[in-house]
Structure 1
Amino acid sequence: MPGHGLGRSFAYLLTSTALSNLADGVLKIGAPLLAVSMTRSPTLVSLVGAAATLPWLLLALPAGAVADRADRRRVMAWAGGARAALLAAAALAGAYGLLDLWVLLAAVLAAGVAEVFADTSAQSVLPMTVPADRLTRANGRVSSAQMIGNEFAGAPVAGLLVGLLPAAVFGVPALLYAAAALLLGGMRGTYRPVGDGQPRGPLRREIGEALRYLARHRVLRSLAITAGLLNLANSAYFAVFVLWAVGDGSAIGLRPEGYGLMMTAFAGGAVLGSLLAERAAGIFGEFRALTGCWLVSSLLLVVPIAVPSPWALYPTAVLWGLVGAAANVLVISARQRLIPPELLGRVNSAYRLVGMGGMPLGAALGGVAAEFAGLPAVLLGATGVCLAGVGLVRRALSDRISRPLTSQAALSDISRSL
């Protein structure tokens, strides 16, 4: 079991992450493709994206509080087991011919609830598993495993399953989530936060403490707001992009297998971006590298609109993956270093509430707007919002983007931001 020189516990965490993200990939690509086979309504198709991300809006803060009270490894294991059971039930419904759009939405929503708790604890457990000076490297390996599972392997598997056996879109992830939960048992030691996870006060007070910390921290606040704008716009874009790309009446004319291939191309770029993030941070400084990746990713959204061709889409997907994964590694590593360990779960979840809470709204708005204004208007409008978000963060952090975050001077500046 490869640990990449980061220890035995990290090796188990990494392998579990790879399996659970392969399950995520099958579900992430398979669910919208199943929805397209049931309806061509942009509004109804966009509900799949909204259902997948709505739990982040509703449950991110409680999940963070749980991560700061309980053993984070056990929270991940219980969440994985819950996803396995729920999706197994959905697969059984499909096997008996009971699968329709509403069963599909219920299964995606239930899996999303468990994902909030699993992912919040996973980002909080990593700094307890590897030394602080290896966080960017470890996050790069984790992000690489996530992309390989989510896109590189999961996408073509999902495309194949949709055509052959729709119920397996839920059954295969159920088995993978169960295996991932069992692997976490190989991690040695306890993964409770400071104070053995004992409550330090009422849950509402602990959540309020995290929200105040985020609101007062200039760097984290700016990054969270920008991430929120980017995720809202990207959710609107990709909630309806499947209609722009897949089907006989679409602009690009892909078949489901071709859409899976596009996501595989995305994953290939993402794996490379995850591994290059640490080097890019060393050359350009973390903030400059991060904002540069966000800018390139936003500009690339124009390509499938201006050149609706598979030959333009596939290389664009590679670049999307490369800069998106690098940005993800950099921003996660920054959060893990800047947030005190005893607040990591709660402040992480508060950040993700701001950063991801708009995703279900974006997905729903994208679908409704496409019904009235058409797909091109939604895709171009989302691109404009992304570019505006990048401009805001560069202006807010213009005095910091020229230096690596890990330098002593930058850390001193950041501490004065509180």
Structure 2
Amino acid sequence: MGRSFRYLLAAATSANLADGMLLAGAPLLAITLTRDPALVSLVGVATTLPWLLLALHAGAIADRSDRRRIMVLTSFVRAAALAATAAAVAMDALSMPLLVAILLVAGACEVFNDTSAQSIVPMTVGKESLGRANGRIVAAQTVGNNFVGGPAAALLVGVAPMAVFGAPALLYTAAGLLLLGMRGAFTPAKVSTAPLRADIATGLRYLMRHRTVRDLAIGAGVLNLCNAAYFAVFVLWAVGEESAIGMTSGQYGVVMAVLAAGAVTGSLLANRLADLFGENRTLLTVCTLNSLTLLVPVLVPVVPAVYVTAALLGVSGAATNVLIVSLRQRIIPGELLGRVNAAYRLIGMGGQPVGAALGGVVGGLAGLQVVFVGAVVMCLAVMPLVSRALARKAVPVAV
């Protein structure tokens, strides 16, 4: 692994530590403002809605621009926005509208940053090293998102709420500076001169014609929609005296750490498991395990069961991510990678704001258990589609 990848990995670690603090801190701050499931679910909606609105444009821009420059710019924009929000918190001016607005800004930057990040990895390592490189990046993301960021945010919510935004602002600044240390050319060799709309159409056309990529995207969309519904209201099931489990904010932060430990393990073992049992069998197994594990805190609403759930979700989720991303990077042409990745993630993640909103509405009307069980049933129902997609020969197609 060369210099550019090392700087990319360091930047990803810093940025994802910031992401983790927002991921854990935002819902914990939200429940200090309201206990209404529909309002709390707006945190999940705001975080994921930009994927639905901006993913295709982000992919087209990543395929005709310097991908590193996009990542640097989005890092600094997030830093500035969060620093301003930290100042508002210091003045006791935090409200649900402000929280939702800042999460929309951070989410929009994430769309452009992550689309470019997945597309830039093959420009820093060879194809034979993609699995190892993605494993390290997912491990770094997990450590930042959950192992450190989650517990830190849970602690800060109680003692220094301003730092929930101020610390990520500093970390995004550090990520932007680290990205400047990368050396090389990060603009695709073949840059389209067609109108942006035509480039977007090319990416969509490729995805729709490639049956494996298309069906995996549909499967990911259903799984992410269900998970968004589940986790949009899970904090109400887990945290507080009124909740079913009765966790404290600190215990919820430990859950994030356990999730991270499992995810680091899964990201580092993914390729070894695929070598031992085959890529297709490993992917289908970990996807199914991930779905079934969501039932554990519902059937056994005690703190230890939540820790077990977090560990299993971490292992299975990270392994799935590493194998799917590596598969896409191998079979999609480099000059189309940004657009097809964006189209994939539009389908795969575009349902998240819908799921988060549904989770809040259904949770408020029918109860949280209905949300949780319904999410698991839908996840399991999509497994045959994932199985058929993996059984097909994954080869590039003509656009």
Range of TM-score over shorter length: over 0.9
1:8 aligns to 2:11 (yes or no): no
Offset, 1:100:
1.1
Q: 1: CA distance between counterparts of 2:384 and 2:149?
A: 34
Q: 2: CA distance between counterparts of 1:378 and 1:20?
A: 31
Contact map agreement 1:219 1:417 (CA 8 A) in 2: no
TM-score normalized by the length of structure 1: 0.94
Within-5 A mapping of 1:7-26: 7-26=2-21
Matched with 1:136 is 131
Query: How many percent of aligned residue pairs carry the same amino acid?
Result: 59
| Aligned match for 1:333, one of 320, 323, 326 | 326
Counterpart of 2:382 in 1: which secondary structure?
Answer: helix
Offset, 1:392:
2.2
Matched with 1:29 is 24
RMSD over aligned Cα atoms:
1.2
Contact map agreement 1:299 1:383 (CA 8 A) in 2: yes
Matched with 1:71 is 66
Q: 1: CA distance between counterparts of 2:264 and 2:258?
A: 10
Offset, 1:396:
4.2
1:207 aligns to 2:200 (yes or no): yes
Q: 2: CA distance between counterparts of 1:251 and 1:390?
A: 30
1:307 aligns to 2:300 (yes or no): yes
Gaps of 5+ in 1: 1-5, 401-409
Offset, 1:415:
4.3
Q: 1: CA distance between counterparts of 2:59 and 2:335?
A: 11
Matched with 2:117 is 122
Q: 2: CA distance between counterparts of 1:41 and 1:177?
A: 31
Q: 2: CA distance between counterparts of 1:176 and 1:96?
A: 22
Letter in structure 2 aligned against 1:80? S
Contact map agreement 1:18 1:149 (CA 8 A) in 2: yes
Contact map agreement 2:63 2:336 (CA 8 A) in 1: yes
Q: 2: CA distance between counterparts of 1:71 and 1:211?
A: 21
Question: Taking structure 1 as reference, are residues 71 and 415 closer, same or farther at Cα in structure 2, changes over 3 Å only?
Answer: closer
Offset, 1:391:
2.5
Offset, 1:168:
1.1
Offset, 1:166:
1.1
Q: 2: CA distance between counterparts of 1:146 and 1:61?
A: 23
1:296 aligns to 2:286 (yes or no): no
TM-score normalized by the length of structure 2: 0.98
Letter in structure 1 aligned against 2:26? A
Matched with 1:96 is 91
Counterpart of 1:186 in 2: which secondary structure?
Answer: coil
Q: Deviations over 1:163-205 (max 9, x none)?
A: 011111111000000010000111111100023x4x4201111
Q: 2: CA distance between counterparts of 1:200 and 1:382?
A: 43
| Aligned match for 2:157, one of 150, 153, 162 | 162
Matched with 2:224 is 231
Matched with 1:407 is none
Contact map agreement 2:48 2:352 (CA 8 A) in 1: yes
Offset, 1:20:
0.2
Matched with 2:360 is 367
Matched with 1:56 is 51
Offset, 1:290:
1.0
Q: Which runs of 4+ in 1 moved over 2 A?
A: 414-418
Counterpart of 1:45 in 2: which secondary structure?
Answer: helix
Question: Taking structure 1 as reference, are residues 94 and 189 closer, same or farther at Cα in structure 2, changes over 3 Å only?
Answer: same
Offset, 1:287:
1.9
Contact map agreement 1:218 1:417 (CA 8 A) in 2: no
1:389 aligns to 2:382 (yes or no): yes
Letter in structure 1 aligned against 2:5? F
Q: Deviations over 1:188-234 (max 9, x none)?
A: 11100023x4x420111110011010000010011000000000000
Gaps of 5+ in 2: none
Within-5 A mapping of 1:313-352: 313-352=306-345
Equivalenced residues, count:
399
Offset, 1:395:
3.6
Q: 2: CA distance between counterparts of 1:361 and 1:57?
A: 10
Q: 1: CA distance between counterparts of 2:176 and 2:208?
A: 34
Matched with 2:40 is 45
